[in-house]
């Protein structure tokens, strides 16, 4: 089945934040709606949709979704369709994280075995950030942020594709959040790196005011390096 590429009003309607130095952008998805049941109000799509973002190689993916008032069914991954769309058809590992409100993970990447990540939120809501670390990219040092959440009546099922060469992390906005990752390379602790989440050069506006408290960051992530000192690609 054909893959529909959407550059669309969906993207252009999103607010963009600009700072001096590294460029940035923010994509905001609609919050969950109240009222009738989820299954009855989900937006059903007949094709897998791929939405371009401000970072040209980072994509939002909306899988084909079928449903009625009994519920819904979605084909989350189909190797031939992904390959036809220029996305990976092979993933070597699935990872899942469970985090509580205020947990900030990242910004993580691997230098010798870069991991492409296909991720979606199974439950809860996160503020997800990616940073381009490829020095030959015109978007080197640019970042994008996305509010991602479990299926809602307005957005259905959405996934984020982050290629290798990007640092990635997220902040949990809901009481808890479960995030599933499919990755293109196995975990390699020797090449794991952390970009400092609050690097003043990047000026990422993490929505900490919504938490009412500092984020919960691991010791390893707190010791991340700023972009000027970090290993890049």
Which pLDDT value is given to residue 101?
98
Which pLDDT value is given to residue 74?
86
Which pLDDT value is given to residue 228?
98
Which pLDDT value is given to residue 130?
98
User: CB–CB of 145/55 below 8 Å?
Assistant: no
Which pLDDT value is given to residue 43?
57
Per-block mean pLDDT, blocks of 10 residues, the chain (233 long): 36 33 46 42 69 96 84 88 93 97 98 96 98 98 97 82 98 98 96 98 96 96 98 98
Residues that are catalytic: 108, 181
Task: Output the pTM of the full model.
Answer: 0.81
With the CA atoms of 153, 129, 97 and 171 taken in that order, what torsion angle do they form, in degrees rounded to the nearest 10? -80
Question: Is the alpha carbon torsion for 151, 1, 146, 183 positive or negative?
Answer: positive
Which pLDDT value is given to residue 202?
98
> Beta partners for 103?
216
**What residue ranges define each of the domains in the chain, with the CATH number in brackets?**
4-222 (2.60.120.10)
User: CB–CB of 82/168 below 8 Å?
Assistant: no
Which pLDDT value is given to residue 46?
65
């Amino acid at each position: 089945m054909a893959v529909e590429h959407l550059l669309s009003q969906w993207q252009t309607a999103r607010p963009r934040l600009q700072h001096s130095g590294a460029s940035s952008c923010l994509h905001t998805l609609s919050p969950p709606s109240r009222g009738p049941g989820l299954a009855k109000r989900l937006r059903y799509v007949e094709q897998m949709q791929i939405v371009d973002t401000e970072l040209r190689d980072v994509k939002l993916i909306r899988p084909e979704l079928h449903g009625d008032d009994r519920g819904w069914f979605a084909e989350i991954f189909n190797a031939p369709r992904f390959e036809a769309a220029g996305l990976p058809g092979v993933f070597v590992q699935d990872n899942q994280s469970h985090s509580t409100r205020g947990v900030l993970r990242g910004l993580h990447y691997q230098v010798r075995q870069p991991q492409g990540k296909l991720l979606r939120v199974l439950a809860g809501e996160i503020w997800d950030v990616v940073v381009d670390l490829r020095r030959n990219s015109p978007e080197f040092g640019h970042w994008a942020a996305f509010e991602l959440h479990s299926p809602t009546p307005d957005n259905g099922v959405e996934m984020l594709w982050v290629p290798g060469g990007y640092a990635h992390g997220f902040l949990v906005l809901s009481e808890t959040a479960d995030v599933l990752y499919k990755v293109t390379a196995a975990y390699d602790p020797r090449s794991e790196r952390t970009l400092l989440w609050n690097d003043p050069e990047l000026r990422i506006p993490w929505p900490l005011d919504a938490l009412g408290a500092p984020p919960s960051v691991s010791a390893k992530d707190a010791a991340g390096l700023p972009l000027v000192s970090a290993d890049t690609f």
